[in-house]
Amino acid sequence: MIRDPKHEQMSRGDLEKLQLERLKAIVAYVAEKSPYYQRAFKERGIKPGDVQSLKDITKLPFTSKLDFRDNYPFGLLAVPMDEVVRVHSSSGTTGKPVIAPYTQKDIDTWSEIMARTLATAGVNKDDVLQNAYGYGLFTGGLGFHYGAECLGASVIPTGGGNTKRQILLMQDLGTTVITCTPSYSLILNETALEMGVDIRESKLRVGVFGAEPWSEQMRKDIQGKMGISAINIYGLTEIIGPGVSTECPYQCGMHIAEDHFLAEIINPETGEQLPYGETGELVLTTLTKEAQPVMRFRTKDITSLNPEPCECGRTHVRMSRITGRTDDMLVIKGVNVFPSQIESVLLDVEGVEPHYMIVVDRQEGFKSDYLEVWVEVSDDVFSDEMQKMESLEAKLRAEMDSVLAIAAKIKLVEPKTIARTEGKAKRVFDRSELPDT
Ligand code: DLL
């Protein structure tokens, strides 16, 4: 169902008109209200009137994660603190976390965006939605919660963890939609099987999965094992949280909520804007945020945009699955490779389970002369004769070499030996982080 046809089915012309109107307004707004953008514009001699077309956005400076850190906690805030009704934050593995304040209007806008996003994913008011994203500072839990309530679905706010109870509730309450990271959906399924429950026989029909990279092969695996439609959703704390984009049931790219977010693709090295279809770094500008609008945020996420009309009838551009982040690219003996590419190769081979670890030896930055991939094998392969294990190992080595042109050491490990995480999965490890084996 299309929840908001007026905005989701606008002609490109009307949409661009709306975007320009909103862009001009938000640029004037930050120039007046945000001390950070006042400074940034002044340093570059930018006046709000300089933006007269969508193309003029390139006159504005980029905002990076570093700018958030340097102006921690409230340097980018554009409203007085007493108008802020909620604050979220990203975990921030290094340094200070990113702070995301919201006004009541921002919460209402976000809830509506998330309601629309869930409707795009195929969820409706009759659904029973079990929300296993973490509640708290992370935007996943409350973002989905408010959106699902706004849509009118029945929400079960389990949050992450306590997996056995999740399965119990899923069965007893007749859950039809699960929302969590894709890696956690696999843990849910594994636990269900241990409890003698086959999720394929339950009422579950849709999973809305995001917050971490996952491959098409992983989707196939999840859909097959759980008998559901596994939908990809994208978002980030700096911009709003989940809801920046999502797939429709056609699963052919994530529709960006373009009436709220202006998307650009740039060449990450030169900062130059790239045309539709080309792959580069996603840059986002918030068009309707009030507490903390962000101009040209460099997401570091790599994707491309497709403006072709979609079979679902929505006109908003679709971004392709994130293939990696500019900061998670590995350089193995001079060959550039993203963890998600390694995942795709692994999961294309039969007998391999979607639980793996990439072990590198980082001498400087992302460069490593060493690559070892630990991957779990299925119960069948593991219980079989040694020869089968050896031939699987050789096959994986050969595939890595032929598809990615990298020589990897493959280590097949027993089912369920790789650590499971309830939130975002960690895939890449430095050799020094590994326990002695
Ligand atoms: O992960 C918001 C979110 C919550 C999205 C729930 C979807 C579902 P952050 O913690 O700030 O926010 O992390 C944002 O996660 O820049 C991407 O690198 C990555 N990411 C998010 N969604 C996807 C996805 C939330 N579908 C960062 N595919 C982003 C790949 C994703 N990466």
Domain ranges of the chain: 1-325, 330-433
pLDDT at 145: 98
What six digits make up the tokens of 400? 């890595």
CB 166 less than 6 A from any atom of ligand 1: no
pLDDT of residue 421 exceeding 80, the answer is yes
- Residue 238 Cα, ligand 1 centroid: separation in angstroms? 11
> What residue type is assigned to position 92 of the chain?
G
pLDDT of residue 365 exceeding 90, the answer is no
- Residue 291 Cα, ligand 1 centroid: separation in angstroms? 21
Q: What is the chain's Cα-based Rg?
A: 22
- CA 71 and chain centroid, separation: 25
Residue 288 and residue 18: Cα distance in Å, rounded? 11
- Residue 191 Cα, ligand 1 centroid: separation in angstroms? 25
Closest by CA to 358, choosing from 338, 372, 376, is 372
pLDDT at 129: 99
pLDDT at 364: 66
pLDDT at 91: 74
pLDDT at 432: 86
Average pLDDT over residues 355-380: 87
Residue 419 and residue 425: Cα distance in Å, rounded? 9
pLDDT of residue 437 exceeding 60, the answer is no
- Residue 387 Cα, ligand 1 centroid: separation in angstroms? 40
pLDDT at 81: 98
| Mutation to probe ligand 1, out of 110, 131, 212 (largest number of atoms < 8 A from CB) | 212
For 332-342, the pLDDT digits (tens) are 988 999 999 99
What φ, ψ does residue 421 adopt, rounded to 5°? Answer: -120, 150
pLDDT at 391: 93
What six digits make up the tokens of 328? 């998670």
Instruction: Give the pairing type, strands 241-247 and 229-236.
Output: antiparallel
Average pLDDT over residues 150-154: 98
pLDDT, mean over the chain: 95
Q: At a CB cut-off of 8 Å and minimum separation 6, what does 437 contact?
A: none
pLDDT at 382: 86
CATH 3.40.50.12780 fits 1-325, yes or no: yes
CB 92 less than 6 A from any atom of ligand 1: no
pLDDT at 397: 96
pLDDT at 93: 59
pLDDT at 162: 96
pLDDT over 90 percentage in the chain: 90
For 263-307, the pLDDT digits (tens) are 999 999 999 999 999 999 999 999 999 999 999 999 999 999 999
- Position of tokens 């999961």? 347
pLDDT at 95: 77
Closest by CA to 289, choosing from 320, 261, 251, is 261
| Torsion sign over Cα 323, 324, 326, 329 | negative
Collapsed DSSP state (helix, strand, coil) of residue 203:
coil
Provide the edge-to-edge strand list for the sheet that holds 206-210.
154-156, 128-131, 177-180, 206-210, 229-236, 241-247, 254-256, 318-319, 305-306
Average pLDDT over residues 97-114: 98
Confidence band of 362 (pLDDT split at 50, 70, 90): confident
pLDDT at 386: 86
Which atom of ligand 1 approaches the CA of 138 most closely? 10
pLDDT of residue 436 exceeding 80, the answer is no
Task: Please say whether the beta carbons of 350 and 396 come within 8 A.
Answer: no
For 248-271, the pLDDT digits (tens) are 999 999 999 999 999 999 999 999
CB 343 less than 6 A from any atom of ligand 1: no
pLDDT at 51: 98
pLDDT of residue 229 exceeding 80, the answer is yes
The CATH T-level fold of domain 330-433 is GMP Synthetase; Chain A, domain 3 (3.30.300)
Confidence band of 147 (pLDDT split at 50, 70, 90): very high
Residue 322 and residue 344: Cα distance in Å, rounded? 13
Residue 17 and residue 23: Cα distance in Å, rounded? 10
For 164-211, the pLDDT digits (tens) are 999 999 999 999 999 999 999 999 999 999 999 999 999 999 999 999
Closest by CA to 183, choosing from 145, 128, 222, is 222
Q: Whose CA is nearest to atom 6 of ligand 1?
A: 140
Instruction: Tell me 23's DSSP state.
Output: H
Residue 12 and residue 226: Cα distance in Å, rounded? 37
Which atom of ligand 1 approaches the CA of 208 most closely? 8
